[in-house]
Chain A
Amino acid sequence: MSAIDAAHEHHGPPPIHYSSRVTPAVLGMFLFIASEIMLFGSFFTVYFFDRVVNHGVNGHWPPPGLHRPAFVAGINTLILVTSSFTMHWADTSIKKGNRAGLQAGLLLTWLLGLTFLLTQVIEYHRLGFNTSDTSFASTFFGLTGLHGAHVFVGLTILGIMTLRAFRGHFSPEHHHGVEIGGIYWHFVDVMWIVVYVTVYLL
């Protein structure tokens, strides 16, 4: 039977053809990153607009009376960067068949992520201003809160990964779940570095 005849007798959708097309996994990751860039980009646009307009009005940034907790946030940044290390350790460990390394790495990453989130929540209570106080306060809570929501999602993913690791899942051949979760966690880390430098330092 020729290929053309076979094509005519085939029922259902055409067969998948991947040769030069972007694979679904890569396309999914591109679309995810694009949507995240647009999401964070819209928040950063508001932040910079507010900063340019209001800095021009009163010559101070942040507005007088509002203090950015750069030191505590810096400690939090170190915690999050460290969690990227432990995540990488976990991923490298399972690739080498080191299950103890995977479990320890994931557990430490989860604990560090939780520490980051709790520290941020505690710091919110100590800031002395709230979302409705000024436009700076709104954008500050908007940006850091948006990132915090991503950390929360990351912690959920990490929690499931950690449970699976302790239940004997994943192997050097099959560790896609660790790989994808790790990519997400590093992405969250990268976004925090951008937020920290932009909102707290500059």
Chain B
Amino acid sequence: MKNPFRSEQDAFRFVWLTIGYFALIVIGSVINVWVGVAVFVAETVAIGWWLFARNDAKEAPTRQTPAASPPDEHRILVVANETVGGAELLDLIRERAGAKTVRVLVVSPALNSPLKQWTSDEDAARSAAQSRLDGSVSGMRATGLHVEGEIGDGDPIQAIEDAMRTFRPDELIVSTHPPGRSHWLERGVVEKARERFDLPLTHVVVDLDADQH
């Protein structure tokens, strides 16, 4: 919902909307108490419906294409959280290493609860993401890959968008748990990323339990 007091202009407009809202109720009440109640209910329902309809009619996000990477490099942006050290993901990245130098940026979103995100209480989430990233990036570097890592926004789509502004990837890899165990799959993160970003996207399912056995 849009904040009606976001700016002085918006607040001034809200004054007039409030006057209009209550003026109709008062006019209805002068006619009859129950007419006033009916006007109140009708107006409130109409406003609620309008807010709901407006939220549904949000514009589709603009499709984004990053600037080209240097010609002698192939840049891969990997977005993963707990699955970043999975064998399937490492195999896929090695596959991509052809004649060009492969550079990998691993983004680990700082997953947080909505309440903590709202209140900016994200130190613990960032610290946990950093710990996962440290271990994973070290492991990937040990295989000879040129890997960098950074903590991203709690929203994986936003984390990709942020990373694209500085990294200029040639392709995108989203690594998730298997269906049924992945919150990202439940939220349609992969589909949203395909719609949003004009890049080849590979979805890698990493089964950490299977990897450990």
Chain A interface residue bracket vs B: 35 or more
Any A CB within 8 A of the CB of B7: yes
Most buried by A among B8, B110, B154: B8
Shortest C-beta distance, B51 to chain A (Å), equals 16
Instruction: Please judge, given known A-B contacts A20-B154, A186-B8, whether A194 and B130 are in contact too, CB under 8 Å.
Output: no
Residues in B with CB closer than 8 Å to A3 are: 148-150
Shortest C-beta distance, B99 to chain A (Å), equals 24
Residue from the list A22, A186, A201 in contact with B15, Cβ < 8 A: A186
CA distance A21 to B159 in the complex (A): 12
Shortest C-beta distance, A35 to chain B (Å), equals 13
Shortest C-beta distance, B163 to chain A (Å), equals 10
Instruction: Please judge, given known A-B contacts A194-B18, A202-B26, whether A179 and B7 are in contact too, CB under 8 Å.
Output: yes
Shortest C-beta distance, A177 to chain B (Å), equals 11
Evaluate contact between B149 and A4: CB separation under 8 angstroms. Answer: yes
Evaluate contact between B22 and A194: CB separation under 8 angstroms. Answer: yes
Residue from the list B5, B12, B18, B158 in contact with A19, Cβ < 8 A: B158
Residues in B with CB closer than 8 Å to A21 are: 117-118, 120, 122, 153
Any A CB within 8 A of the CB of B11: yes
Residues in A with CB closer than 8 Å to B12 are: 84, 87-88, 182, 186
CA distance A14 to B150 in the complex (A): 12
A75-110 vs B, Cβ < 8 Å mask (1 yes, 0 no): 000000100100110010000000000000000000
CA distance A29 to B2 in the complex (A): 12
CA distance A81 to B23 in the complex (A): 14
Shortest C-beta distance, A20 to chain B (Å), equals 4
Residue from the list A14, A24, A33, A202 in contact with B123, Cβ < 8 A: A14
CA distance A87 to B158 in the complex (A): 38
Most buried by B among A21, A26, A33: A21
Residue from the list B14, B25, B158 in contact with A186, Cβ < 8 A: B14
Chain B interface residue bracket vs A: 35 or more
Q: Which residue of A lies closest to B17 (CB)?
A: A190
> Considering the complex, which residues of chain B in the window 29-52 have a beta carbon less than 8 Å from any beta carbon of chain A?
29, 36
Instruction: Please judge, given known A-B contacts A3-B148, A14-B126, A27-B120, whether A182 and B18 are in contact too, CB under 8 Å.
Output: no
Most buried by A among B12, B22, B123, B149: B12
Known contacts A14-B126, A88-B9; 19 additional CB pairs below 8 A are: A3-B149, A4-B134, A4-B150, A13-B123, A17-B122, A17-B151, A19-B153, A19-B158, A20-B155, A26-B6, A33-B3, A91-B8, A91-B9, A186-B5, A186-B8, A186-B11, A190-B11, A193-B15, A202-B29
A-B contact pairs, 11 of them (CB 8 A): A3-B149, A4-B150, A7-B151, A19-B158, A22-B118, A81-B19, A91-B9, A182-B11, A190-B11, A194-B22, A202-B36
